Amino acid sequence: MIRAIFRSLKVSDATSPYDAMMLKVYYPAAPTGSEEERMSGVIAADAAQAPFPVVVFMPGVNVEMACYQWLAVRLAQTGLVVVTYNWVAEDLPGYVSLTPGVNLAAFTPDTYGQQPTTTALPAILNELTTINNPTQHAIRNTDHATRNTPLTGLLNLNTIILGGHSAGGTMALQNGRSDHFPQVTAVFSYGGHTMASTMLGYPPETILSLPPDCPCLIIGGTNDGVIAASSGRYDSKAGSPTAAVERTFREGVTRQEGDSYLALLDGANHFTIAHPLGETTGRPFLDQPTSQPDDQLRHQLADLIIQFIEAHARHRPDVRLDGASLALFERK
């Protein structure tokens, strides 16, 4: 059984009213059949599988966290705790949206690599610490009592896996840095890349390098219409669904430990990872149709992510990533 708890938190360096974030934290559960469970709906975690590594999944812009529940459940079924979130913010003046938490000031040619490009992750990691040790949190914050949760004392906060979709995938790839977040041990993305916008002062088609500190898995779809339609941001003439993703791996990944991968799903589009997809927000109207069954593509996608986490975050040398059915599979 997979269950989840909700958390609401304030982002200390954000400005009201855009300083509130909501988390949904999925975990493997072990029902006891108690009266308290029946009355509250709160079910104990399966402590036999603890301590749980934690996946923090960063969303695409204007993609609700419910769109990633299918993946969160699949990952939690393997003995992981998975965090998804909704955060409404104004990353660009006049544009209020759901955001993965983008620190635009960290993206310029003068600042890239010197500070985190995510504003969400520090707040989420702090909340995970509170979930894991609410008593210590209450001691530090005497005006805010905090009750135990089903995950109190059960999280392995030294094994954080960052994942993300689209802009959230870019955030995940860029923030696996030991100098900023030493807890992060592996990163993965779907539909994300590090081609830099010319509006930030970069030359056309610039690929930003990724930190070499941890393994990474970069996944794209051969029918990604959103990436293809966004080429103008980078003054790119290619208009390719995959070129930015491929170049991110080939030029941006400097790690050479045999644990970083590029995978292209044949027939997948930008929103293959989002199910069910809400089409009232975001840019799904730019996407290309998928050319393989959607459930098959999601199955492939989840399997790749699980294999990667098992092999390189949970350090199981017997697990190998299966690239046989992919349109492209590279390793370095």
- Tens of pLDDT, residue by residue over 60-70, are 999 999 999 99
**pTM here?**
0.95
Q: At which residue do the structure tokens 């995940």 appear? A: 172
For β-strands 184-190 and 155-165, DSSP reports them as parallel
| pLDDT value of position 135 | 74
**Tens digit of pLDDT for each residue in 81-123?**
999 999 999 988 889 999 999 999 999 999 999 999 999 999 9
The gap between the terminal CA atoms of the chain, to the nearest Å, is: 37
What percent of the chain shows pLDDT beyond 90?
Answer: 90
SS3 92: strand
Query: For every residue of 12-70, which 3-state class applies, written as one string?
Result: CCCCCCCCEEEEEEEEEECCCCCHHHHHHCCCCECHHHCCEEEEEEECCCCCCHHHHHH
| pLDDT value of position 134 | 86
| pLDDT value of position 146 | 57
CA separation for the pair 73, 77 (Å, rounded)? 6
Cβ atoms within 10 Å of 318's Cβ, excluding its own: 6
| pLDDT value of position 232 | 87
- CA distances (Å), origin 159, targets 55, 114, 116, 309: 9, 23, 18, 11
CA separation for the pair 81, 247 (Å, rounded)? 31
Dihedral in degrees, nearest 10, Cα atoms 126, 200, 218, 22: 30
Q: CB–CB of 163/176 below 8 Å?
A: no
| pLDDT value of position 136 | 60
Dihedral in degrees, nearest 10, Cα atoms 311, 243, 119, 71: -50
In order along the chain (332 residues), what is the average pLDDT of each group of 10 residues?
Answer: 97 94 98 91 95 98 98 98 97 92 94 96 97 70 63 97 98 97 98 95 96 97 97 83 97 97 98 96 96 98 98 96 96 98
SS3 95: strand
Q: Which domains are seen in the chain, by residue range?
A: 2-331 (3.40.50.1820)
Alpha-carbon radius of gyration of the chain: 19
- CA distances (Å), origin 130, targets 80, 217, 323: 18, 29, 39
